[in-house]
Amino acid sequence: MRRPGRRPALAAAAVLTVALGLGVRGLGEGAWTGPAGDALYAVLVYVLVAFVLPRRPRAFVALLAVGVCAGIELFQLTGLPAELGRAWPPARLVLGTTFGLADLAAYAVGVAAAWTADSAAARPAP
C-alpha cells in the first residue's frame, strides 16, 4: 500500500503552526511569548521549506530553514522591515521589525523541534 505524500501532513502542520503562533501572539507580552512566537515562526519556515522541497533530506531542509530565518533577522538591521511594517502591518508578522540576537537561538530551537517531529513522523510504523 502506498503511503500518502508528505505534503498533506505538512499543510496541516502549517495551519496548526499558524494557529498556535497567532494564539501565542494573542496572549500578550509575557516574557515567554516572544521566544515561543519566534520558535513557532521557525517551525513554520521549516514546514514551508519541506512543503516546497518534499524530497530533499530533512537535514537540508533544516539548514535551509535556519538560513532563511537568520537572513530575515539580519534583514531587520536595514530598517526596511520596520518601514514595511508601518506601511502594511501584516508585513510585521513575516519580516519582524527589529533585530534580536536571542531570536536566532529561538529559531534554532524551533527548527530543531520541527526536524525532530518530521523525522519521527517519517519512521515506519512497527
Q: How far is the C-alpha of 113 from the C-alpha of 33, rounded, in Å?
A: 17
What nine digits make up the cell of 91? 508585513
Mean pLDDT of the 33-58 span: 95
- Exposed/middle/buried for residue 43 (C-beta within 10 Å: 0-12, 13-18, 19+): buried
Predicted confidence band of residue 3 (pLDDT cuts 50, 70, 90): low
Higher pLDDT, 1 or 94: 94
Computed over every residue of the chain, the mean pLDDT equals 92
Question: For residue 1, what pLDDT is reported?
Answer: 44
Question: For residue 29, what pLDDT is reported?
Answer: 75
Question: Does the CA dihedral 8-72-93-21 come out positive or negative?
Answer: positive
Q: What percent of the chain has pLDDT over 70?
A: 96
Domain residue ranges of the chain, discontinuous segments joined by +:
6-122
Higher pLDDT, 30 or 16: 16
